[in-house]
Amino acid sequence: MSVFSQNHLSTISDKINQGSILYHILNHERHLPSCSCSCESKEKVMLESPYVTCKAASEVLLKTVNFIKNLPSFHGLLQQDQFLLLENCWAPLFVLGLAQEGVDFEVTEPKTSILKEILMNQKSRNYHEKMCSQLSAAEVQKVKSFLTKCWSIDISTKEYVYLKGIILFTPDVSGLGSPQYILCLQQEAELALTDYIHSLHPQDKTRFSQILFALTSLKTINAHIITELFFRPLIGNVQMNALLMEITGGYFMC
């Protein structure tokens, strides 16, 4: 599996069309508005620093998509299968990217402000009420727990690459044209991870199981929560698939 080019990624932001969704995300300089909804604080949370976190998240998503596009084994798949894998696997791959890039985030309880409710127009208030109502503290904690687990294991760059392969090549995604071939690719990634761990940590008999256990917890993270937490504050009503297609730059239209 080939690793994405860092030099290529560093210049992508400069080449993005200024009217695009991604350009808006990566160059959005104003502060994001705070939530003023009357959420139950013990159950709902919101980002503490949404601008900083969402911008970092957008850069991780860009790297994640480019990593996928640069995999020779991904190029060999049917175009329909490529699209379905990206659509269904982007969220866990993105969270793996957060761990690899060391992107942490903090959340806070939504606070109600009567003055803000008076000053904010109804449309804006309704949007933020909807946003906060979807951010379950328990679901967000799953993301933070996974990141903490990865950092405690101190997963290496190559291990992240193999883990991404295991996640990306998921044979049970509905509608795949070549599930058996994709299963083979997943098994190859698992074998490569096993061999790498055994060669690098021959005395550590638990590392492989620890990493796979972390991977299992990753699968419980809701993609909808990832969208609402890291991207909804910037893309508004735009669908996540539209953002993914824009980042791919028409890759699936060739």
CA dihedral 241, 3, 166, 226 (to 10 degrees): -40
Checking if the pLDDT of 10 tops 50, the result is no
Q: Please give the Cα distance from 43 to 59 (Å, whole number).
A: 29
Confidence label for 9 from pLDDT (cuts 50, 70 and 90): very low
> Distance of CA 71 to CAs 76, 112, 168, 237, Å?
9, 47, 11, 31
Checking if the pLDDT of 91 tops 80, the result is yes
112-130: pLDDT as tens digits: 554 454 455 544 444 444 4
Read off the tokens for 224: 């909808």
Average pLDDT over residues 238-246: 85
Q: At residue 159, what are phi and psi to the nearest 5 degrees? A: -65, -40
Q: Which of 85-89, 128-132, 173-177 has the lowest mean pLDDT?
A: 128-132
206 DSSP 8-state letter: S
Q: What's the CATH superfamily of 50-107+131-248?
A: Retinoid X Receptor (1.10.565.10)
Q: Please give the Cα distance from 230 to 49 (Å, whole number).
A: 11
Q: What is the pLDDT of residue 29?
A: 46
Render 103-124 in DSSP notation, one character per residue.
----EE-----HHHHHHS-HHH
Q: What is the pLDDT of residue 113?
A: 54
Checking if the pLDDT of 134 tops 70, the result is no
Q: What is the pLDDT of residue 2?
A: 40
Question: What share of the chain in percent tops pLDDT 70?
Answer: 72
Confidence label for 170 from pLDDT (cuts 50, 70 and 90): very high
Question: How is the chain split into domains, by residue range?
Answer: 50-107+131-248
179-204: pLDDT as tens digits: 999 999 999 999 999 999 999 888 88
26-62: pLDDT as tens digits: 555 444 444 444 444 457 888 888 889 999 999 999 9
218-238: pLDDT as tens digits: 989 989 999 999 998 888 888
Question: What share of the chain in percent tops pLDDT 90?
Answer: 50
Q: Please give the Cα distance from 83 to 85 (Å, whole number).
A: 6
